[in-house]
Amino acid sequence: MKVDMSAKYSSLSVAVATMFYRGAIMVLIATVTSDAVANATATEMTEQDERLASANDKFAVDVYKQQASATDDNIFASPLSISVALAMTYLGARGQTKAQMKDVLHFADVDEDQLHKSFSDIQSALNKPENNVYVANSLFADNSYKFLKEFTVNGLKYYGAKFKPVDFR
């Protein structure tokens, strides 16, 4: 079934929604998020925001393909929530782990210096009362591990994620 959604969604999003009709809910959540940010901020998205939105869309399709191949049941997930959680983790990643995450999350075209600020902008735009959405984040970590101050400070700065030590044993 083809539906003309070009007035509201980008051509990439329309193609994705048409190709993966069974996962349309999940894929459309990612694209609605991009549109919601543009509408919520009442300004044009920056080139950096567009790159991050594109990376999140690609990651959402990858997640959907992986999940759809494992089941015939309906799938419901929030690609933005998954991306945000992994981006918070990416804050503390280094070396090979960081390179692998960058590849999987499609962050190659995203300016590294602006990545986390763009995620912060998305959350700020979505957290406006008129959107009826509230994005909340926390960092739960084993209290026996010493985390770098930079990681915990930036988690709070960019994601509003308070660091909460927990005894996982």
Q: How far apart are CA 11 and CA 31, in angstroms?
A: 11
Which runs of E-coded beta strand occur in the chain? Answer: 138-142, 162-166
Q: Which pLDDT value is given to residue 28?
A: 39
Which among 25-34, 49-58, 96-105, 143-152 has the top mean pLDDT? 96-105
Q: What is the value of pTM for the model shown? A: 0.71
Fold of 11-129: Antithrombin; Chain I, domain 2 (3.30.497)
Q: Which pLDDT value is given to residue 110?
A: 93
